[in-house]
Structure 1
Amino acid sequence: MTPKNLADRAQITDHVLKYATGIDRHRWDLYRSIFADEIIMDFSSWSGQPAAPMAADDWVAGVRATLEPFDATQHVLTNFVIEVDSDAATCTCYMAAHHHLVTGDVREMHSIGGYYVHQLKREGDGWLIHHTQLNVTWEMGDRALFEQAALRTT
């Protein structure tokens, strides 16, 4: 590997880790900063809805509305495989996402695991995500926690 490849790999890894950090720390400006203005998000393995192009601002607002009502979330990204081809890159990484909801003395959790495939393009001195595909391979807990969390905002 060349020094440039190693630098690109480090930069892309750090960039993609902001995905989890932004969500879990409710740093929505940080989360927004990782995306191009127009993105394609394919979460069909989770939602059943087909991939669709959208404004990154709309995506971030939707994630915020869905996840901020939880008492805690933890998104873990690991096992990065990065392929760089000039100013384009693919980053595949394992993921586990834990969503915690506390109601009185009841503590509940819903978790999913699998992997992300992020397509990035070099933009100036850094990288931006243009396309993300979530591939869910396992799930534990009750999806109804998402509905319960959403009721906290109404």
Structure 2
Amino acid sequence: MTHEELVDRTKITNHVLNYSTGIDQHKWELYRSIFTDEITMDFSSWSGDPAVTMAADDWVTGVRAALEPFDATQHVLTNFAVAVNGDNATCTCYVSAHHHLVTGDLREMHSIGGYYVHQLARNGTGWLIHETQLNVTWEMGDRGLFALAVARR
């Protein structure tokens, strides 16, 4: 692997890690900064809904509304496989996402695991994600926690 390939791999991996950091630390400007202005998001393996192309601002607003009300979230990304082809790249990584909700003495959690496939494009400031596919391979807990969390708002 050349020095330039190692640099691209490091930049892409660090960039994709901001996906988790932005969500879990509620750094919504950071989370928004990782995307192009228009993105395609495919979470059909979890939601059953087809992929959607939308403004990144709208995506971030929706993720914030869904996840910020939880008492804690933790999105762990590992096993990065990066393939660069000129100014385009694919980054596949495992994800383990935990969503914690505390109501009185009741502590509940919903978790999913699987992998993301991110499509990125190089621009003047680095790499930006323009397409993400979530592939859920396992799930534990009550999906109803998402509705309970949003109801807190």
Q: Shift in Å at residue 137 of structure 1?
A: 0.3
Structure 1 length-normalised TM: 0.99
TM-align CA RMSD: 0.4
> What amino acid is the match of 1:58?
D
User: How many corresponding residue pairs?
Assistant: 153
Task: Determine if the alignment matches structure 1 residue 123 to structure 2 residue 126.
Answer: no
The 1-side partners of 2:126 and 2:2 are apart by 18
Which ranges of structure 2 fall in alignment gaps of 5 or more residues?
Answer: none
Partner of 2:2: 2
What is the match of residue 33 of structure 1? 33
Moved >4 Å (runs of 4+) = none
Local SS of the residue matching 1:57: helix
Q: What residue in structure 2 maps to residue 56 of structure 1?
A: 56
1:65 aligns with 2:65: yes
Deviation string 1:82-114 (CA, Å, 9 cap, x unpaired) is 000000000000000000000001100000000
- Tell me what 1:17 maps to: 17
Q: Which amino acid in 2 is paired with 1:119?
A: Q
How far apart in 1 are the matches of 2:11 and 2:150?
35
Q: Which amino acid aligns with 2:80?
A: F
**1:63-96 CA-partner distances (Å, limit 9, x unpaired):** 0000000000000000000000000000000000
Secondary structure in 2 matching 1:32:
helix
Looking at structure 1, the residues matched to 21 and 125 of structure 2 have their Cα atoms a distance apart, in angstroms, of 21
**Cα distance between partner residues in 1 of 2:21 and 2:39:** 19
Letter in 2 for 1:120: L
Task: Please state how far the C-alpha of 1:125 moved relative to its aligned partner.
Answer: 3.4
| Equivalence for 2:43 | 43
Q: Could you tell me which runs of 5 or more consecutive residues in structure 1 were left unpaired when the two chains were aligned.
A: none
Q: TM-score, normalised by structure 2?
A: 0.99
Within 2, Cα distance between the matches of 1:86 and 1:151? 45
For residue 32 of structure 1, report the CA deviation from its aligned partner: 0.1
Q: Distance in 2 between matches of 1:31 and 1:147?
A: 22
What amino acid sits opposite 1:81 in the alignment? Answer: A
1:89-108 to structure 2, matched below 5 A, reads 89-108=89-108
The Cα of 1:140 is off from its aligned counterpart by 0.2
SS at match of 1:9: helix
